[in-house]
Amino acid sequence: MSIERTLSIIKPDGVRKKIIGEINKRFEDAGLAIVNAKMMQLSKSDAEGFYAIHKDRSFFNDLVAYMTSGLVMVQILEGENAIQLNRRIMGATNPAEAADGTIRSDFASSIEENVVHGSDGPETAKAEIEYFFG
Ligand code: IDP
Ligand code: MG
């Protein structure tokens, strides 16, 4: 284990639900520090580039429309084992499968509108932080 950084996004549904504070409290209570953050309105090309790995999936166009539907909070979380810890706090992609007490179990309305993004490994964390923070 080591001190890591990971990219977190509070997606447009999370911002609309006014749970930025609630979500960030969960990260901080778990020992993660928010070391950079910015509110953004993603453009279509921002969202397409960020989710390029999913470009051939049936849900890609819907995903881009959702991610550009309002402001997002893009942030860097830092701490011991931050990448996996953040994924654990978020819960599974599908809220129906997310463990009790996770963000997605508590707040997500569907497999698409699932409130938060988190990098899934060291390489994606590095690339995603670079994508938004240079
Ligand atoms: P993750 O966000 O848990 O890493 P991914 O499989 O990387 O999940 O998918 C990226 C995002 O695409 C999800 O968070 C969700 O918003 C959306 N998504 C994933 N699978 C589906 C699906 O089957 N239908 C609609 N949207 C999906
Ligand atoms: Mg993913």
Sign of CA dihedral 123, 37, 102, 70: negative
Supply the residue whose CA is at minimum distance from atom 27 of ligand 1.
112
* pLDDT given for residue 92 in this prediction: 98
Contacts of 71 (CB under 8 A, 6+ apart): 12, 15, 39, 40, 41
2's tokens = 């080591």
Across the chain, mean pLDDT equals 98
pTM score above 0.75: yes
Atom of ligand 1 nearest to the CA of 66: 16
Angle at 7 between CA 100 and CA 55, to 5 degrees: 90
72-95 residue pLDDT tens: 999 999 999 999 999 999 999 999
**1, pLDDT greater than 90:** no
- pLDDT at residue number 88: 98
Q: Which of 7, 84, 113, 114 to mutate to test the pocket of ligand 1 (most atoms within 8 A of CB)?
A: 114
Ligand 1 mean position to 58 CA, how many Å? 11
